[in-house]
Amino acid sequence: MEIFKKRIKELRSERNLTLREIGEALGIDHTTYSSYETGKAHPKLELFVKIAEFFDVTPNYLLGVDDV
């Protein structure tokens, strides 16, 4: 899931959001989200979909299946 961690970090940076802001928006601790960006952990399916919806991208984009 190398592409996943890269893409969520890019999406957060493009929107100038802090880890704390993302955590609050998703209802998780910012350290949990940070662990997704570093690849130390992976979200469960429900949260994965929530992340895609938050950034207004498809789950396939986050997985690297699509580039749009």
> pLDDT tens, 28-66?
999 999 999 999 999 999 999 999 999 999 999 999 999
Task: Give 2-63's CATH code, choosing from 1.10.10.60, 1.10.260.40, 3.40.50.970, 3.40.50.720.
Answer: 1.10.260.40
Q: Degrees (nearest 5) of the Cα angle 9, 15, 56?
A: 80
Q: Which residue has the tokens 């704390």?
A: 20
Rg (CA), the chain: 11
Please, how many CA atoms are within 13 Å of residue 31, restricted to the half-sphere of its CB? 0
How high is the pLDDT of residue 65?
Answer: 95
